[in-house]
Structure 1
Amino acid sequence: MDVPTTNKSLLKKIIAIVLGFGPGIFAIGYTIGTGSVTSMIVAGSKFNMQLLWVLLLSCLFSGVLMFAYGNYALLTGETALYGFKKHLKYGKVLAILIIIGVTFGQWNSLMGILGISSNIIFEILVLNFESLKGYEYETVLITAIVIIVAFYLLMLVGKYTFFEKILVIFVTLMGMSFLLSLFFVQPLSVDVVKGLIPTIPDVPGGKMLVAAFVGTTMAAATFLSRPLFVKGKGWTIKNLNQQKKDSITAAILIFIISATIMAVAAGALFYEGKEVMHVLDMANTLKPVAGKWAVTIFFFGALSAGLSSIFPCLLIAPLLIADYQSGKLDTNSKQFRIVTAVACFVALIGPAFGANPIEIQILSQVFNVFVLPLVIIGIIILLNSKKVMNEYKTGLFVNIGMYAALFFSLVISYNGIIALFNFF
């Protein structure tokens, strides 16, 4: 009689831990979507574990920046863009440029996310209904419309806790699916170790993939939105330690899940000499070694990744605009509904024109890196301003982390510019 009770108690504890996750769940939602999944799979299939060092550095700096932005919100009571506008000399211009840059990148990403998610659902349907094969465009487009309308209606619920719980479910399913996939295939241990040595693949597309890696892992939207989510959680200056743990946990989970995806692709495809060009190629990552069930598991993980990203991507523009205006987000306002509706229409552009969602996704991640240096410079100035922070002083290690993140972002932005010139 004791065993069932113990198991039930353990299950309750696990559920409590998962549901108790803080604003970091949004960081994972922004970071590990189909953009991240696509980049990791393409990298793993094409370059094995060679880009693991880029992922490690990106996650390290992401943790530092999440911590920095979260602390700024708790110590000053202000959000990021509102703080830029209020305290910096050219803060208004900087804030507007950031809003435009981040929104452009996230809405482009949303097109890819919706396209890949719809294609994944189509492939799942084809496994059971082969007659749909001749109606790929129509099925994908209708699926995309259904998904985006459903998410828009859910957005109208307009409560932080609701968004958080939905994201917790998707992120948990995604993580479990990819970790389960890793049991079927793994890369060689020596390749994992080699992947921690900084090198950039000297092949066409190598530089672009590096930029895409950083664009999806060090997402400016993640840091800018954190103050609003921290405030939405109801945290105050008393939660500084909790905010620190939440940032570290989010960064670690982002690295573990992303590295797992890359490892699965490397183990299943790289050693076979196969590359990923289309959504079905991603689905087939595990098919040669584990059959239809493995494909279903992987599909489920990729779909959860996509759906976990739609919420944050739809939220980003109204979040940033509200941040700039007052530092407060009103999810029941007319402005919120109009801006999110525009985002939904933009998301449908890719599926409507039948564009390759994988190419859209990687390109959108590259564009994300260009606004990143501005986002880092802004928070460095604010956190080191005595006028803004009063008696609070930013620690030496945090400053070193932020300046290192700035240098890294500038190098990657330069790399991204070269990659785009080569692409076009």
Structure 2
Amino acid sequence: MSKFIAVILGFGPGIFAIGYTVGTGSVTSMIVAGSRFGMQLLWVLFLSCFFSGILMHAYGNFSLISGETALNAFKKHLKFGKPLAILIIIGIVFGQWNSLMGILGLSSNIIYEILVLNFDGLEGYKYEIVLAIAVVILAAFYFLMLVGQYTFFEKILVVFVTIMGASFMFSLFFVQPLPLDVVKGLMPSIPDVPGGQMLVAAFVGTTMAAATFLSRPLFLKGKGWDSSNLKEQKKDSIIAAVLIFLVSGIIMAVATGALFYNGKEVTQVLDMANTLEPVAGKWASTLFFFGTLSAGLSSIFPILLIAPLLLGDYQSGDIDTSSNRFKIITGVACLVGLIGPIMGANPIQLQILSQVFNVFVLPAVILGIILMLKNDKVMKGYKTSLFVYVGLYAALAFSIVISYNGVMALIG
């Protein structure tokens, strides 16, 4: 057990990629898609994770070899780098803070539903209790942000991500999709129903999160890695991408087995809570709930960090977690996160919509790293492999198609 814990705690900066990616946005998208379409969108998940692995690897190599961070390098070395970097910051912060509203709403609702299962007298006070829980969660995380450093954040995320993965893996023992449906899910097709395009865009928005790639150089820097850690960086990228695919795929598979085959769809948080109850009873349902809650909590840390990280990257290329600016910006993010619970918005719908917004800045983030890798001066003569370039151009084309798809979905 001590060796197992040592392995888990030894996980590298890729843990932040999982924290950004497999949050309640991913859980919500996977459960809603699994309940409505079974495994039909598995191909979207596979492509998104494949391209995510390549992008993490590309941004990591760029950082370790050049010694620079992404936005600061865009500003210094690209002709239109300054407006591009500012546009990226605005787009990512807008998408991530929107996502925080949904995450906080879902996490608070999950805790409320668990409390209601044990205390019947709480049913008439849902709005007040959910809002109070949201305030307590944000206050706790804000306090931890003020006292923590990189290694502290990393260990907290490891705990949440481990609990989340174990919970969903255990849930899969109770319900499984048909093997034929899994194979069919790897064949490209978009559900020809209202909301099908929206879910495809949400899938990409949550699994190819631009924040994951842009923040990677900063987290590598915080880890203390340099050009001697290229092999570890590559391995870390691959492991992170594989784990994102496995955990997300398992969530979709559980929703397929428990809901899709029974003709049930997810529209409210309580529907997510009851995903496993028909076949496994309240114990498994509570465990699944706990995994979803861990997914939400594992996303709050990275989202609160994203705005000060990107601004620090743009200005100096450093992580700064002790300045007054850091405290103010994370405080503003907390207040923005409370908007969803205060409005009493449906966190399921809010979360899917926020993931759609995340895809629009993705083409700029991919184009930026392609231009950086081609700059011999920045890369100090290092030659990026043909496989990585092919993957990056394919990812760029994929992101443009998905962004167009997202625009059509929002118009629709």
Q: Give me the whole-angstrom Cα distance separating, in 2, the residues matched to 1:274 and 1:164.
A: 37
User: Residue by residue, what CA displacement relative to the aligned partner does 1:321-349 show, whole Å, maximum 9, x if unpaired?
Assistant: 00000000110001100000000000000
Q: In the aligned structure 2, how far is the partner of 1:34 from the partner of 1:390?
A: 40
Q: Is the CA contact 2:55–2:213 (under 8 Å) kept in the aligned structure 1?
A: yes
**How far did residue 158 of structure 1 move?**
3.2
Say which of 341, 344, 366 aligns to 1:351: 341
Equivalent residue, structure 1, for 2:267: 277
**Cα distance, 1:388 vs. partner?**
1.6
When structure 1 is superposed on structure 2, of 76-85 and 380-389 the one drifting more is 380-389
Q: What corresponds to 2:385 in structure 1?
A: 395
Determine the C-alpha separation between the residues in 2 that align with 1:241 and 1:98.
29
* Secondary structure of 1:156 counterpart: helix
- Confirm or deny: 8 A CA contact 2:201 2:359 kept in the other structure: yes
Q: Distance in 2 between matches of 1:235 and 1:319?
A: 18
CA–CA separation in structure 2 for the residues paired with 1:59 and 1:353: 34
Number of residue pairs aligned between Structure 1 and Structure 2: 412
Distance 2:373 2:352 in 1: 33
- 2:172 maps to 182
* 1:335 correspondence with 2:325: yes
Aligned to 2:359: 369
Distance 2:380 2:15 in 1: 30
**Which of 108, 114, 120 in structure 2 is aligned with 1:124?**
114
Provide, for residues 75-96 of structure 1, a one-character-per-residue CA deviation record: whole Å limited to 9, x for no partner: 0110000010010001000000
The answer to whether the 8 A contact 1:158-1:332 is kept is no
Moved over 6 A (4+): none
Q: d(CA) in 2 for partners of 1:349 and 1:133?
A: 22
Letter of the 1:242 partner, please give it.
Answer: E
Give the % identical residues. 75
Q: What is residue 243 of structure 1 aligned with on the other side?
A: 233
Measured in 2, the distance between the counterparts of 1:329 and 1:237 equals 19
Q: Could you give the per-residue CA deviations for residues 149-207 of structure 1, whole angstroms, max 9, x where no partner exists?
A: 00000000130000000000000000000000000101111100000000000100000
Note the 1:55-94 alignment, pairs <5 A. 55-94=45-84
CA contact (8 A) 2:101 2:336 kept: yes
Does residue 326 of the first structure (1) align with residue 316 of the second (2)? yes
Q: Which amino acid aligns with 1:359?
A: Q
Matched with 2:290 is: 300
* Equivalences for residues 74-153 of structure 1 within 5 A: 74-153=64-143
- Indicate the residue corresponding to 2:213 in structure 1: 223
- CA shift, 1:139, in A, is 0.5
Q: CA deviation at 1:387?
A: 2.3
Find the aligned partners of 1:330 and 1:412 in 2 and give their Cα distance: 34
TM-score, length of structure 2 as denominator length:
1.00
- Residue 182 of structure 2 is matched in structure 1 by 192
Query: Which residue type is aligned with residue 191 of structure 1?
Result: D
Give the Cα separation in 1 of the matches to 2:410 and 2:106: 22
> In structure 1, the residue corresponding to 2:147 is in which secondary structure?
coil
Q: CA deviation at 1:294?
A: 1.0
Partner of 1:19: 9
Structure 1, residues 343-387: CA drift from partner, whole Å, max 9, x if none?
000000000110001111000000000000000000000001122
Partner of 1:4: none
Matches within 5 A, 1:150-189: 150-189=140-179
Unpaired runs of 5+ residues, structure 2, are none
Distance 1:275 1:133 in 2: 23
The separation in 1 between residues aligned to 2:8 and 2:287, in whole angstroms, is 21
Q: Measure, in 1, the Cα distance between the counterparts of 2:282 and 2:148.
A: 38
Partner of 2:192: 202
**Counterpart-to-counterpart distance in 2, 1:390 and 1:71:** 12
Matched to 2:98, the amino acid is N
Partner secondary structure for residue 184 of structure 1 = coil
TM-score (norm 1): 0.97
Deviation at 1:393, TM superposition (A): 1.0
Partners of 2:130 and 2:287 in 1: CA distance:
20
Does structure 2 conserve the Cα–Cα contact (< 8 Å) formed by 1:60 and 1:251?
yes
Partners of 2:369 and 2:148 lie apart in 1 by 28
Unpaired runs of 5+ residues, structure 1, are 1-10
Contact 2:65-2:380 at 8 Å conserved across structures: no
Partner AA of 2:347 in structure 1? P
Deviation of residue 390 (structure 1)?
Answer: 2.4
Q: Which of 376, 381, 384 pairs up with 1:386? A: 376
